[in-house]
Structures are given as C-alpha cells and as structure tokens.
C-alpha cells in the first residue's frame, strides 16, 4: 500500500521511535519500535498534575527500597531513586505500544565517571525487575552521555548484556569509540540541544553529515551499532533523514508528519524534503574518509581520543557536548526538586 503521510513514508525507510513519556501519544500514533526519554522529557511529563499519585507512590517505594538491606542502595539519594522509579513506571505504560526497547538515561551528574555510570545503569535494570518481574531486561536500553568515561562504561555494560545508547553525540570520534564499545545505538544530535531550550536559537549547521558518515562507517566495519538520529526541529528534517537506521521523534513532529500528505515530496519544492540517504541507506556522494583521519588510530589511547575530539571543528563539538550535559544536569535538579515535595 502506498504511504499516505510522511510518517508512513518514514516508517517504510527507517525504524521510527517516539521521544516522549506520554503513553497516550505513543498509543495514538504507534506502534513504534523504541521509545526514548531523558531528564527533560521526564520532568515535562512528571510535572503534570495527573501524576501526583505516581510521584507519591514512587517516593514511598524509593524509601522502602532504600531501607531494604538486600538492595544495597546506600550511595543513591531517595530523590534520585524516586525519579528512576517514576520514570520506569511511565516507561511500563508505554511498553504495550513499542515493539522493542524503552530507553532510560542515567543521571547526567555521573557523565564523567565510568564507575558511577555502571552502577546507575545496573540499578535501573534491577529496578525494572523489581517493579515488573515479568518484563524482560532485554527490552531496556540505557542512555549514556558520549564522554570518554561514558563510552568506556557502555563497553562494560554491553559485555553484561545490557543494551546501551551513546547519547549527546556530535562527532565521529564519539561515534567510532561507541562502535568499538559495542553500543547498541548512537544518537547523533542533528541540532544542538539548546535549540529546545533557548527561545529563538537556531543551530547554524544541523549535523546531517554525521548521521551519514556514522551509518556508512558501521556498515563498512561490520559493527552492530545502529544510528538513531535525535534532536530534530522540523518535519522537513525528519524527511531528510528517511533511510537512516533509526530516528526518534518528539510528539509535535510526529503530529506534523502524520498530518502531512506524502504527495508533498512530489510537489514544487519537494526537493527540500529529499533524503541524505539513498535506497541502500547511504548518501550518494558520502565518503567515510571525508574527515581525512584514521579513526581507529585516534581511539586506541585516551589521550589521543581526547585530543582529536578537542580539536574537532575548532573545539565546537566538545562545547556542544558540555552544554548538553549541563542542560540535562539542570533538568535532573528540577526533577529532584519536584520529587522532594513527596518525600
């Protein structure tokens, strides 16, 4: 059957995931492959008055788990634990409307600690098992910031059988290390995260090329890692990524895609929606070696990797990463203030 909307068209060429914790939205436009979330999305949903009882229950459950000598939760606060429990409960409401994984992001305060990220990820998996014993942990994906420490943590977690997604990813140095670490997904941010937080800010150079380069690189190196594009700002950007492995889309853009007739691609101006990917999933004129470097040689040692990352685009990609982590830390703090009302 010929696709009727741009959302149908996109689903024919890529795996489409929802970027929300609103189960009603996922149900109305689903099913989706995965469902992604982060601290900003969690705060936006949990701050709704309808979730007061959920937060109250999460706080009580957190206290119960904290008091249990069997769980060994001495290094996590009640607020942090309650946030994770509340987020997991929202994810479980979404599970019936996705065919694969629900994604939960580790606390961004741990972005530069491999050990703390591992502890946090393992705790999230354990909490899923405690809250929903019949739910398979294989359907959970842990989102980890793409710092050196975060990607090293991903390697350990993947070896334990825990799915990981390398998020806040802006350049090939991060993408290659994520592939070597065995990440299930990477999430290249097509636009800087601050486009969603600073009114009027527009990313001057959306990073479509990174999506193309990473997907070609993984295919060339026969890596399992899939590219899941994130941080999109328009229906047009979503259409331009048709053919990418995976894409996660916020509710407003899902509505826009669903409400746009696929015939827009054939009308005057339709070339503006043309994809960066051809039918085989790679850009026609893309070149894996366009960065002019041997990616592998730059990630064999931490010092080499950090230096290469620091120099990429005159340091701009490192700044984007640091800004994104800062934004998520602020959102985590807002979540803790919200939960504190129920503790």
pLDDT tens-digit readout, 142-165: 999 999 999 999 999 999 999 999
Give yes or no: 64 in active site. Answer: no
Q: Are 339 and 59 in contact (CB under 8 A)?
A: yes
Q: What is the DSSP letter of 328?
A: H
Cα–Cα distance measured from residue 332 to residue 321, given in angstroms and rounded to the nearest whole number: 17
Q: Are 59 and 37 in contact (CB under 8 A)?
A: no
What's the pLDDT score for residue 4?
93
Annotated active-site residue in 143, 180, 216, 320 = 143
Band (168; pLDDT cuts 50, 70, 90):
very high
pLDDT tens-digit readout, 318-329: 999 999 999 999
Tokens of 137: 């942990």
Cα–Cα distance measured from residue 330 to residue 40, given in angstroms and rounded to the nearest whole number: 9
Cα–Cα distance measured from residue 81 to residue 154, given in angstroms and rounded to the nearest whole number: 21
pLDDT tens-digit readout, 285-309: 444 444 444 566 566 689 989 999 9
**Number of other residues whose CB lies within 10 A of the CB of residue 277:** 24
CA angle 196, 263, 203 (to 5 degrees): 20
Cα–Cα distance measured from residue 32 to residue 96, given in angstroms and rounded to the nearest whole number: 10
Helices (H), 52-104: 52-67, 78-94
Mean per-residue pLDDT for 80-102? 98
What's the pLDDT score for residue 245?
97
Counting Cα atoms < 13 Å in the Cβ hemisphere of 30 gives: 23
Band (75; pLDDT cuts 50, 70, 90):
confident
The CATH architecture one would assign to domain 6-340 is Alpha-Beta Barrel (3.20)
Cα–Cα distance measured from residue 208 to residue 130, given in angstroms and rounded to the nearest whole number: 40
Q: Are 102 and 95 in contact (CB under 8 A)?
A: yes
Alpha carbon distances (Å) from 287 to 144, 145, 265, 290: 28, 26, 26, 5
Q: Residue 28 above 90 pLDDT? A: yes
The secondary structure element, H or E, covering residue 291 is none
pTM, to two decimals:
0.94
Non-local (6+) Cβ contacts of 7 within 8 A are 16, 29, 254, 257, 258, 260
Q: Residue 105 above 80 pLDDT? A: yes
Radius of gyration of the chain (CA): 20
Cα–Cα distance measured from residue 170 to residue 38, given in angstroms and rounded to the nearest whole number: 17
Domain boundaries, given as residue ranges, for the chain: 6-340
Report the DSSP pairing between strands 35-36 and 15-19.
parallel
Q: Are 235 and 6 in contact (CB under 8 A)?
A: yes
Cα–Cα distance measured from residue 318 to residue 127, given in angstroms and rounded to the nearest whole number: 33
Non-local (6+) Cβ contacts of 20 within 8 A are 26, 35, 37, 41, 45, 250, 251
Band (279; pLDDT cuts 50, 70, 90):
low
Residue with tokens 């190196």, as numbered in its chain? 221
The answer to whether the peptide bond before residue 31 is cis (omega within 30 degrees of 0) is yes
Closest CA to 267 of 248, 293, 239: 239
Q: Residue 1 above 50 pLDDT? A: yes
Non-local (6+) Cβ contacts of 94 within 8 A are 18, 21, 23, 26, 35, 102
Closest CA to 117 of 184, 164, 70: 164
């Amino acid at each position: 059957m010929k696709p009727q909307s741009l959302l149908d068209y996109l689903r024919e060429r890529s795996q489409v995931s929802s970027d929300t914790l609103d189960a009603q939205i996922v149900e109305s436009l689903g099913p989706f492959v995965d469902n992604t979330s982060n601290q900003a999305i969690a705060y936006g949903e949990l701050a709704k008055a309808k979730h007061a009882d959920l937060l109250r229950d999460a706080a009580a459950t957190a206290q119960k788990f904290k008091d249990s000598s069997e769980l060994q939760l001495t290094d996590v606060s009640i607020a942090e634990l309650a946030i994770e429990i509340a987020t997991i409960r929202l994810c479980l409401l979404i599970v019936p409307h996705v065919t694969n994984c629900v994604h939960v992001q580790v606390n961004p305060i741990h972005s530069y600690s491999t050990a703390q990220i591992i502890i946090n990820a393992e705790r999230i998996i354990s909490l899923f098992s405690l809250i929903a014993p019949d739910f398979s942990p294989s359907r959970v994906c842990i989102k980890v910031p793409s710092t050196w420490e975060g990607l090293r943590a991903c390697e350990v977690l993947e070896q334990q059988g825990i799915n990981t997604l390398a998020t806040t990813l802006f350049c090939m140095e991060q993408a290659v290390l994520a592939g070597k670490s065995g990440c299930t997904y990477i999430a290249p941010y097509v636009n800087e995260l601050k486009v969603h937080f600073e009114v009027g800010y527009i990313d001057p150079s959306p990073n479509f090329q990174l999506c193309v380069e990473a997907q070609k690189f993984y295919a060339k190196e026969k890596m399992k890692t899939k590219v899941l594009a994130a941080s999109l700002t328009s229906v047009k950007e979503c259409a331009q990524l048709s053919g990418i492995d995976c894409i996660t889309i916020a509710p407003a853009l899902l509505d826009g895609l669903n409400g746009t007739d696929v015939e827009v691609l054939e009308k005057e101006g339709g070339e503006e929606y043309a994809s960066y990917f051809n039918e085989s999933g790679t850009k026609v004129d893309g070149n894996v070696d366009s960065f002019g470097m041997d990616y592998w040689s730059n990630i064999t040692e931490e010092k080499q990797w950090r230096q290469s990352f620091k120099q990429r685009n005159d340091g701009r990609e490192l700044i984007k990463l640091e800004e994104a982590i800062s934004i998520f830390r602020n959102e985590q703090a807002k979540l803790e203030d919200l939960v504190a009302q129920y503790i």
